[in-house]
Every structure is written in structure tokens, then in C-alpha cells.
Structure 1
Amino acid sequence: MKEKDEKILILLQKNSRISLKEIAKKLGMPISTVFTKIKKFEEEGLIKKYSLELDEKKLGYTVKAFVLVTYKSNSKSQEEVAKEISKLPFVERVYIIAGQWDILVEAIGKDVEDLGKWITEKLREIEGVDKTQTLIVLKKIKESYVLSSKGVDVFN
């Protein structure tokens, strides 16, 4: 990937509402070139969607947890179980993983009691969910998905 292309993607990741004019100015490129490159990224599926980040705590969700799940073989495949979990409310991400556990679920709750109720009444009731272990997040240090192959952020 060309460096300018990567920089366009980094700027869009940091702020998907940034204007073409601002990107062009920061990178010293014509607006038409920036527009063409972004359209190409969209058509190729490199840019899947534009989204925003909500403040979960301000919405009343004060607890975040990672729930490890073991899969119990039955009529459903592991992927089917993971997809069913992904449809539950309060689930942010679901991964099929390797190791002692089979599925990793990132979920939020209004408080620990709310999260516990969700685990016992929703998650554990899914056919194919065997055991769970819940890891409560005490403090978020970094949550960033910004592309940077150089490991250097030049855009502050």
C-alpha cells in the first residue's frame, strides 16, 4: 500500500467525518485525487463502513467484560453458536478463538448485577454454551484500531 493511501485511511479512521478538503490539505494532494482514492477503497471493500464511537458510560453502561465460553458439541456448529451469541443485546464483539476456551465475547452492562443477569439468563441459555468465565474490565488503557504500519502517529 502506498504511503499516501495509508495516510488517507489513518485520517478517516480517526475521524470518518473529516472533509475531503481537510484530507487534501493535510496530505498536499488535490481534492479530486483524495475523492478518487476513497471511492476506490470503498469499491474494493477496504472501507467497509463509516461509524461513530459512543461513550458507553454516558449511556449508562458502566461495566465492560470479556466472557470466555467453552463450546459443547451438539447439533449446532461452533460458528452457529458464536453467531447466536452475537445477536444477544449488549454484545459488542464475538470471536472464535484457539486454546482452552472456544469463544470470546465482549459485552457491556449497566452494572455488575445487570451483566451477571445477562450471563445467566441469556448467554448460558444458548444451546452449545458449556462453561463461561467472566473477566471484568477495571480500567481501559487503550482502545484503538488506527492503522499505522510505521507505529508512528504523525497526525496528532
Structure 2
Amino acid sequence: MDEVDRQILGVLEKNGRISNAELAARVGLSPSPCLRRVNRLEATGVIRGYRAEIDPAALGRGLRVFAGVRLLRHTRADVTAFERAVVQLAEVVFTHHITGNYDYLLQVDVADLPAYEDFHANRLAGLPNVATVTSYVTMKTLPTTRA
């Protein structure tokens, strides 16, 4: 990967719907070589896909909570059982297996605090092998700017 590839990725990261002609102009290539580079980045898995960024509030999920989950046991079978169950929960947007005080950090989007309370008590805490859940309610999300 060279500097031109990095420029292509920077532009696509901000606007995945940009036309190939506009992308090529922004990175200083003609359209054909630019498209070949994008295709190569896709084929090698550097570009994993394109998606729309949806406002969760527009879907009735205006409250974002990060939940730190500790497991009771760490055998492969216990970890696998938890992972299979947690990815089935529609409220869980991202699941990260992490190091530190928690085993997993979940991003959970729900309508409001009562909805999270219900989710926490009746779904998350009852998953296989869950020892504790610590919740962090998001007050504000700042936009990320990338050069």
C-alpha cells in the first residue's frame, strides 16, 4: 500500500458514495488506474464494504449505552456460548472482546433509559456466563475528523 492508496482510503472513509471520476480527481489519478486500485483494495480485504450511517434516533434508538461485561468463566466453550448469544441481540450494535477490567465492551442502542433497564435486566444479564455488567450512558457523541 502506497501513499496514493492511503489517499483513496481517506476519501472513501469520508464519502463511500463518491464517484470514481471524482475520487480519481481528488487523488490525482485518471479514472481507470483509480478504479483498479479500489478494486485491488476491495479484493485484498483492505476495503471491507460500504454502508450507510444511520441516525439511531431516527429508528427510535436515541440512547446509546456502553456496557462492560465480565464473564464468570473463560473456557473456550463458555466464551463461545456468550459470543453466540450476544451477537443475536438486536440492541447490540458492536461487540468488542477487550483486555482490562472487562472481557467485552458492547455498544447498545435503545429508545430510552427504561428500555435499557429492561434490556439489561431481562436480556443482557441473563446471557450465558455473565458475571457483571457495568453501564456507561452516552451524554454526547463528538464527530470525528480525519485528515
SS class of match (1:58): helix
Give the aligned partner of residue 13 of structure 1.
Answer: 13
Provide the identity percentage.
24
TM-score with structure 2 length normalisation?
A: 0.91
* 1:22 to partner: Cα distance: 0.2
What code does the residue aligned with 2:59 have? Answer: L
Give the aligned partner of residue 56 of structure 1.
Answer: 56
Deviation sequence 1:39-68 (CA, Å, 0-9, x none): 101111111111110011122211000001
Once residues 16 and 143 of structure 2 are traced to their aligned partners in structure 1, the CA distance between those partners, rounded to angstroms, is: 19
Give the aligned partner of residue 136 of structure 1.
Answer: 137
Between 131-140 and 98-107, the greater mean CA deviation after superposition: 98-107
Matches within 5 A, 1:85-124: 85-124=86-125
Deviation sequence 1:76-125 (CA, Å, 0-9, x none): 33244134212211111111111221111110110000011011111111
SS class of match (1:122): helix
Give the aligned partner of residue 29 of structure 1.
Answer: 29
Once residues 79 and 104 of structure 1 are traced to their aligned partners in structure 2, the CA distance between those partners, rounded to angstroms, is: 16
Over the residues paired in the alignment, what is the CA RMSD in angstroms?
1.7
Give the aligned partner of residue 68 of structure 1.
Answer: 68
TM-score with structure 1 length normalisation?
A: 0.86
* 1:74 to partner: Cα distance: 7.4
What code does the residue aligned with 1:38 have? Answer: V
Unaligned runs of 5+ in 2: none
What code does the residue aligned with 1:12 have? Answer: L
Structure with bigger helix share is 2
Give the aligned partner of residue 149 of structure 1.
Answer: none
Contact 2:78 2:128 (C-alpha < 8 Å) held by counterparts? no
SS class of match (1:17): coil
Contact 1:82 1:103 (C-alpha < 8 Å) held by counterparts? no
Cα distance change on mapping 1:22 and 1:123 into 2, 3 Å: same
Unaligned runs of 5+ in 1: 147-152
Cα distance change on mapping 1:96 and 1:14 into 2, 3 Å: same
SS class of match (1:89): coil
How many aligned residue pairs are there? 146
Contact 1:79 1:96 (C-alpha < 8 Å) held by counterparts? no
Between 39-48 and 76-85, the greater mean CA deviation after superposition: 76-85
